[in-house]
């Protein structure tokens, strides 16, 4: 497997450990060939992209960013935003502002990391603003760039209030409410500017002439058409006001755009589950002029940076296991058995117990295990093996059935370790494709064992959501 430029594989492991420590939670950390870093709030999984060229600073920033989502982003924020018809990009920008501020407040040294990383991303034009007049960007885009450490982003007095509001958000509810308010304010502000331009156009015709007159002062022959166009413009939406296109042409353009957006969306695989992943707002509605373009550009630019030659890397925490709590030393087993049966009138059961315990170790365990391998997990790969081990399993069930027809328990009249060691193998009779009803004595014993509280408790170690199988 080829190593990604600037990043060693050992670094991935170190970053994964760092993410877990900073998040104060045993998160799953995965590096994948995905366009953008994101945090799946339901699965509690941090997914970081494998880029062709990603510096330590960018990698650290992404890790810190997703830790912020893990610590403070509500699981249902996106869903609530969708119900309120809030653009995903608005939520994304404002929530990023909140969690990045909080992560920098919590870990004071992280501010430098964010500054360095965003400086690098800006130099590579990840936000699509190179050679563009920042003052002409939408307010949501300028807010985004301001908090991405772009210097001297211009705002008027009214806009500065929204910048400060973004800085003051404390909760996801604050972010959602602000996104709703800002989206409506921008829509209204855009409408007011459009209406103002339209009124000026009506009241101040060019060169002081009536707009329906030609150069000779005669009435234009298209008077009726212009009047109709004016009416359509005054009553239509913002797009038709500005360009005067016919309804058919507008619908055609919209249809073409939607098709292009869909194709781009499928190609770039941007719309996926989990908070922080990019989304294309154009799928929600026709372009209305207030999209967070810088956020969308960032998601798409990340797609181009994916190192498709790298394989996914998963780092899981394997829980520590105290073997002494699970596996009992044979000397201890022998000691307890000896103490239990010593000087008892039925002390010969001790030897019967050892006898049947050895029978389990030499027969039931190995043979039933082979049935699980060939019949349960590799069915169809070897008919010979399936037949051989299934036949042997049925023979062992027959031996067990005969024994239990003579005694209540495997070793005799006392419940023993022989029963404890054999029962779990019979509990997988469905894996073995065994009809337990064919062995009436085994079925009786199996049910009696399954009703014991200790057996039911042991069934859950390790964690087991499946109920004890019932024959």
The string of DSSP codes covering 67-130 is HHHHHH--TTHHHHHHHTT--HHHHHHHHHHHHHHHHHHHSTTHHHHHHHHHHHHHHTTTTS-T
Q: Strand, helix or coil at 152?
A: coil
Q: Supply the pLDDT for residue 443.
A: 96
Range with lowest mean pLDDT among 35-39, 78-82, 266-270, 381-385: 266-270
Question: Of the residues 271, 296, 315, which one is the last residue of a structural domain?
Answer: 315
Q: Supply the pLDDT for residue 276.
A: 53
User: Does some domain include residue 293?
Assistant: yes
Average pLDDT on 335-362 reads 78
- Return d(Cα 50, Cα 186) in angstroms, integer: 36
**Angle between helix 9-23 and 56-72 (nearest 10):** 30
* Beta strands at 28-32 and 313-315: parallel, antiparallel or unpaired: antiparallel
pLDDT single digits (tens) 17-48: 767 777 777 777 777 777 677 777 777 888 87
42 plus 161 within the same structural domain: yes
Average pLDDT on 135-150 reads 93
Is 187 exposed, middle or buried, given 0-12, 13-18 or 19+ CB atoms closer than 10 A? Answer: middle
71 plus 21 within the same structural domain: yes
Q: What residues form DSSP beta bridges with 213?
A: 219
Question: Which CATH number is 419's domain given?
Answer: 1.20.1050.10
Whether 226 shows a pLDDT value over 70: the answer reads no
The answer to whether 148 touches 118, Cβ cutoff 8 Å, is yes
168 plus 72 within the same structural domain: yes
Domain count, the chain: 2
**Higher per-residue confidence, 226 vs 171:** 171
- Return d(Cα 444, Cα 453) in angstroms, integer: 17
The answer to whether 5 touches 23, Cβ cutoff 8 Å, is no
Q: Supply the pLDDT for residue 14.
A: 62
- Give residue 385's pLDDT band: very low, low, confident or very high (50, 70, 90): very high
Whether 125 shows a pLDDT value over 80: the answer reads yes
**Higher per-residue confidence, 338 vs 342:** 338
pLDDT single digits (tens) 247-284: 444 444 444 444 444 444 444 333 333 455 544 444 44
Residues of the chain above pLDDT 70, percent = 69
265 plus 383 within the same structural domain: no
Q: Supply the pLDDT for residue 318.
A: 52
273 plus 131 within the same structural domain: yes
The number of CA neighbours under 13 Å toward the Cβ of 143 is 31
CA-nearest of 83, 97, 65, 68 to 175 is: 97
User: Does some domain include residue 295?
Assistant: yes
Q: Supply the pLDDT for residue 313.
A: 56
22 plus 40 within the same structural domain: yes
Average pLDDT on 336-343 reads 68
Question: Of the residues 315, 334, 361, which one is the last residue of a structural domain?
Answer: 315
* Residues sharing a CB contact under 8 Å with residue 225, sequence separation 6 or more, in sequence order: none
Q: Which of the 8 DSSP states describes residue 5?
A: B
CA-nearest of 101, 40, 454, 455 to 272 is: 40
Average pLDDT on 4-13 reads 49
348 plus 441 within the same structural domain: yes
Q: Supply the pLDDT for residue 218.
A: 44
145 plus 278 within the same structural domain: yes
Domain region containing 138? 9-205+257-315
141 plus 53 within the same structural domain: yes
- Look up residue 380 and give its two tokens: 């169809």
User: Does some domain include residue 329?
Assistant: yes
- Give residue 230's pLDDT band: very low, low, confident or very high (50, 70, 90): very low
Does the bond joining 22 to the residue before it have cis omega, within 30 degrees of 0?
no
Average pLDDT on 209-220 reads 44
92 plus 68 within the same structural domain: yes
């Amino acid at each position: 497997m080829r190593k990604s430029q600037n990043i060693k594989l050992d670094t991935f492991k170190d970053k994964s450990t760092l993410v877990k420590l900073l998040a104060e939670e045993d998160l799953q950390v995965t590096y994948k060939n995905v366009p953008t870093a994101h945090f799946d709030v339901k699965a509690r999984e941090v997914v970081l992209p494998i880029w062709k060229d990603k510096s330590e600073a960018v990698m650290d920033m992404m890790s810190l960013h997703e830790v912020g989502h893990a610590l403070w982003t509500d699981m249902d924020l996106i869903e609530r935003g969708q119900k309120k018809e809030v653009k995903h990009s608005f939520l994304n920008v404002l929530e990023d502002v909140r969690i990045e501020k909080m992560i920098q407040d919590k870990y004071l040294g992280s501010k430098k990391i964010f500054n360095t990383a965003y400086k690098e991303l800006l130099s590579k034009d990840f936000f699509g603003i190179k050679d563009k007049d920042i003052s002409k960007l939408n307010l949501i885009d300028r807010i985004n760039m301001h908090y991405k450490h772009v210097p001297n982003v211009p705002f008027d007095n009214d806009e500065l209030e929204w910048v400060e509001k973004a800085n003051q958000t404390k909760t996801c509810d604050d972010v959602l409410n602000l996104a709703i308010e800002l989206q409506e304010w921008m829509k209204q502000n855009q409408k007011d500017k459009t209406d103002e331009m339209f009124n000026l156009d009506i009241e101040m015709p060019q060169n002081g002439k009536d707009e329906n007159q030609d150069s000779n002062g005669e009435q234009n022959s298209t008077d009726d058409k212009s009047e109709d166009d004016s009416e359509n413009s005054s009553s239509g939406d913002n797009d038709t006001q500005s360009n005067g296109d016919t309804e058919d042409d507008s619908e055609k353009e919209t249809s073409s755009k939607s098709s292009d957006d869909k194709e781009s969306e499928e190609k770039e695989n941007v719309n996926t589950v989990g908070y922080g992943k990019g989304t294309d707002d154009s799928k929600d509605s026709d372009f209305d002029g207030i999209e967070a373009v810088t956020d969308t550009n960032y998601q798409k630019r990340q797609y181009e940076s994916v190192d498709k030659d790298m394989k996914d890397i998963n780092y899981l925490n394997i829980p520590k296991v105290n073997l002494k709590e699970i596996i009992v030393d044979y000397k201890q087993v022998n000691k307890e058995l000896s103490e239990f049966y010593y000087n008892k009138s039925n002390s010969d059961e001790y030897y019967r117990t050892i006898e049947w315990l050895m029978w389990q170790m030499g027969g039931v365990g190995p043979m039933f295990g082979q049935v699980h391998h060939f019949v349960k997990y590799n069915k169809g790969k070897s008919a010979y093996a399936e037949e051989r081990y299934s036949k042997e399993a049925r023979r062992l069930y027959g031996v067990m059935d005969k024994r239990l027809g003579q005694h209540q328990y495997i070793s005799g009249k006392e419940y023993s370790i022989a029963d404890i060691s054999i029962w779990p193998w019979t509990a997988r009779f469905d894996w073995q494709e065994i009809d337990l009803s064919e062995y009436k004595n085994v079925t009786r014993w199996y049910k009696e064992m399954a009703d014991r509280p200790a057996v039911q408790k042991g069934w859950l170690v390790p964690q087991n959501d499946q109920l004890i199988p019932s024959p």
